[in-house]
Amino acid sequence: MSFVPAYIALHRSGELAARARVLHGMLGACTICPHLCGNNRLQGEIARCYSAALPVVSAYTPHFGEEPALVGTHGVGNIFFGNCNLRCVYCQNYLISQNHREERKNEVSIDRLAGMMIELQEKGCHSIGLVSPTHFVPQIVQAVDTAARRGLALPLIYNTNAYDAPDVLRLLDGVIDIYLPDLKYGDDAMGREFSKVDSYALHARRAVAEMHRQVGGTLVTGEDGLVKRGLIIRHLVLPNDIAASAETLTWIRDTLGPDTTLSLMAQYFPTHRALTTPLLDRKLRAGEYVRVLEMLERLGMENGWAQEFEASDYYRPEFEDRDRPFKGGADNETVEQSQGEGT
């Protein structure tokens, strides 16, 4: 039997529209993420994510740079949302995440966002990837409700930095099929210094625990062999162990279980403000990455993927070209090889 996303039933029952209304109301004194800004985004006030009422879409395209069990033959239909609730000094997508004055021109209506989802489905994509969705959750849920009425039937991937609010995530229960959080830091001090947010590890762990509660620890695959439901946790290894990888991976094992699916990433390269930031102004060294791989083995965590060490040569987005931001490799099938074998 083919996989049917749960949001379709929520749409038909009216529950999806009801949740969208609740989320929309939260924009009036914004509590959508842990910043709890309180800004009235519905009246045009800009929150700490530099966003107001309308969603900002910087690009949308079939993408082949995600994990092999998501990509398949036609890719993930990624929608790249502009702006962000973090300010990572090393952000590879800084041209769209930290360039809000320019990105305001990419505001779209809810109807247009729904249309993008339908377009990506018509192109044959296996799923819809919501990239950096946290600050636009209310608008996304509204758009999914509209798109479901037009025939959207693909799994939804929530590709997030994990600085999410559990109360908001609970309203996504049954809406999101695949959670793809990036646990960035195991140390709150590093989150403050390099991403300009308070209590990153605390909030991100609470968020990921809620994601796990919703979809469990076992990946559900479809007839095509691709993941249709579940949790995949990404962890980017940073130079000088700034990510505190041991703390993060140990927390995952002890809290969520050793069978949790991981995606270990070696694609770091210094860009944006990292070029002049001590400790981050160089590429990852092979020995640093190998130590984290060995740590996974000691922890008994075997499910998932580990990128090849050379992955930074493939994953270099160029958002000057919004139609093909990953033409260096990650928008074509050859890049799948850089994901490596299971961890």
- Rounded to two decimals, what is the model's pTM? 0.92
Question: In this predicted structure, what is the pLDDT of residue 337?
Answer: 30
Question: In this predicted structure, what is the pLDDT of residue 338?
Answer: 35
What is the spatial distance between Cα 269 and Cα 280, in angstroms, rounded to a whole number? Answer: 9
Q: How many CA atoms lie within 13 A of 73 on its CB side?
A: 3
pLDDT in tens, 261-272: 999 999 999 999
pLDDT tops 60 at residue 343: no
Q: How many CA atoms lie within 13 A of 69 on its CB side?
A: 24
What CATH number does domain 6-339 carry, 3.20.20.70, 3.40.50.300, 3.30.450.20, 3.40.50.11810? 3.20.20.70
- The model's confidence at residue 12, banded by pLDDT at 50, 70 and 90, is very high
Question: In this predicted structure, what is the pLDDT of residue 155?
Answer: 98
What value, to the nearest 5°, has the Cα angle with vertex 123 and ends 159 and 229?
Answer: 35
pLDDT in tens, 198-248: 999 999 999 999 999 999 999 999 999 999 999 999 999 999 999 999 999
Q: Over pLDDT 70: what percentage of the chain? A: 90
Mean pLDDT of the chain: 92
3-state secondary structure (DSSP) of residue 179? strand
- The model's confidence at residue 336, banded by pLDDT at 50, 70 and 90, is very low
What is the spatial distance between Cα 183 and Cα 163, in angstroms, rounded to a whole number? Answer: 9
pLDDT in tens, 271-300: 999 999 999 999 999 999 999 999 999 999
What is the spatial distance between Cα 276 and Cα 291, in angstroms, rounded to a whole number? Answer: 26
Question: In this predicted structure, what is the pLDDT of residue 190?
Answer: 97
229's enclosing H/E stretch is strand 227-236
Q: Of how many residues is the chain composed?
A: 343
- Name residues whose C-beta falls within 8 Å of residue 245's C-beta, 6 or more positions apart in sequence: 186, 235, 237, 292, 295
- What are the domain boundaries of the chain? 6-339
Question: In this predicted structure, what is the pLDDT of residue 327?
Answer: 53
Question: In this predicted structure, what is the pLDDT of residue 2?
Answer: 84
Q: What is the DSSP code (8-state) at residue 42?
A: G
Pairing label, strands 57-63, 76-81:
antiparallel
pLDDT in tens, 81-119: 999 999 999 999 888 988 888 888 999 999 999 999 999
Question: In this predicted structure, what is the pLDDT of residue 325?
Answer: 64
Question: Which two structure tokens, joined as six digits, stand for 40?
Answer: 């009235």
pLDDT tops 80 at residue 120: yes
* Contact assessment for residue 270 and residue 91, using Cβ atoms and an 8 Å cutoff: no
pLDDT tops 90 at residue 316: no
pLDDT in tens, 232-241: 999 999 999 9
- The model's confidence at residue 341, banded by pLDDT at 50, 70 and 90, is very low
- The model's confidence at residue 324, banded by pLDDT at 50, 70 and 90, is low
What is the spatial distance between Cα 93 and Cα 105, in angstroms, rounded to a whole number? Answer: 17
Question: Which two structure tokens, joined as six digits, stand for 131?
Answer: 């990239």
**Pairwise pLDDT comparison (190 vs 343), residue with the higher score:** 190
- The model's confidence at residue 334, banded by pLDDT at 50, 70 and 90, is very low
Residue type, 143: A
